[in-house]
Amino acid sequence: MGRRNYILVLGMICLIFLLVECEKTSDNGYVDKNITYVKTVIGGCNGLNFPQLKSGIDESADTVVFTIENDTLDIFIGLNYICCAPFTSNAIISNDSIIMTLNDTCSNPYQNCYCRCICYYIWDYLFIDFDEKEYFFKIILIDPREENPVIVNEGKIDLSTDN
């Protein structure tokens, strides 16, 4: 391949690269970041057995609170639910939507998992690399006693600075 063809191919590759990068910018010239799920910090009744439980139900309703500290978005979820339930949690991000799942993993909910009380479980979902824009969120509870997943809460989070 001659030097001229080599330069032509290299130029085409650079042009393609520039076009791809231009596609990633929004209308205002700002490059959108991809919000990143970091981890979930559990608390409240999570992981406790009946003898460890000090208090039961939180008199307030189930809770969702959004805070930003040190470039970290914290989505706090508080849920009144049957005591001693074993939970796993996860978050999925799709474009501008955040879907958080609370999964009660009790294998036989009518026999061996639960204590006879209601507790207040808490989760702090932590995210970084978010934009100052609006995100949609949904919190889903997978309860083995229910036929279908239950939507605990859903809505919008407005992280723009001019709200």
CB < 8 Å & 24+ apart, contacts of 68-75: 68/159, 71/128, 72/38, 72/126, 72/127, 72/128, 73/35, 73/126, 73/127, 73/128, 73/130, 73/157, 73/159, 74/124, 74/125, 74/126, 74/127, 75/100, 75/124, 75/125, 75/127, 75/137, 75/157
In a domain, 11, yes or no: yes
Q: Which of 58-62, 128-132, 135-139, 158-162 has the lowest mean pLDDT?
A: 58-62
Name the domain count of the chain.
2
Task: Kindly state whether residues 45 and 87 are assigned to the same domain.
Answer: yes
Task: Kindly state whether residues 45 and 64 are assigned to the same domain.
Answer: yes
Task: Kindly state whether residues 96 and 142 are assigned to the same domain.
Answer: yes
Task: Kindly state whether residues 17 and 45 are assigned to the same domain.
Answer: no
Single pTM value for the model: 0.73
Task: Kindly state whether residues 78 and 23 are assigned to the same domain.
Answer: no
Task: Kindly state whether residues 112 and 125 are assigned to the same domain.
Answer: yes
Alpha-carbon distance values, 113 to 49, 123, 125 (Å)? 10, 20, 25
13 φ/ψ angles, rounded to the nearest 5 degrees: -65, -45
At residue 72, the pLDDT reads 96
What percent of the chain clears pLDDT 90, i.e. is strictly above it? 53
In a domain, 16, yes or no: yes
Task: Kindly state whether residues 41 and 12 are assigned to the same domain.
Answer: no
Task: Kindly state whether residues 75 and 19 are assigned to the same domain.
Answer: no
In a domain, 62, yes or no: yes
3-state DSSP: the chain helix, strand, coil percent, rounded to 5? 15, 45, 40
Q: Which of 6-10, 126-130, 144-148 has the lowest mean pLDDT?
A: 6-10
Task: Kindly state whether residues 124 and 149 are assigned to the same domain.
Answer: yes
At residue 28, the pLDDT reads 44
For residue 37, what pLDDT band results from cuts at 50, 70 and 90? very high
In a domain, 163, yes or no: no
At residue 3, the pLDDT reads 54
Task: Kindly state whether residues 10 and 80 are assigned to the same domain.
Answer: no
Question: Please, are residues 85 and 113 in contact by the beta-carbon 8 Å criterion?
Answer: yes
Q: Which of 55-64, 102-111, 147-156 has the lowest mean pLDDT?
A: 55-64
Task: Kindly state whether residues 130 and 76 are assigned to the same domain.
Answer: yes
The boundaries of the domain holding residue 147 are 32-158
At residue 2, the pLDDT reads 58
In a domain, 154, yes or no: yes
Task: Kindly state whether residues 45 and 93 are assigned to the same domain.
Answer: yes
At residue 110, the pLDDT reads 75
- What is the per-residue pLDDT across 69-128, written as a single tens digit (0 to 9) for each? 989 999 999 999 998 899 999 999 999 999 999 999 998 877 778 888 888 999 999 999
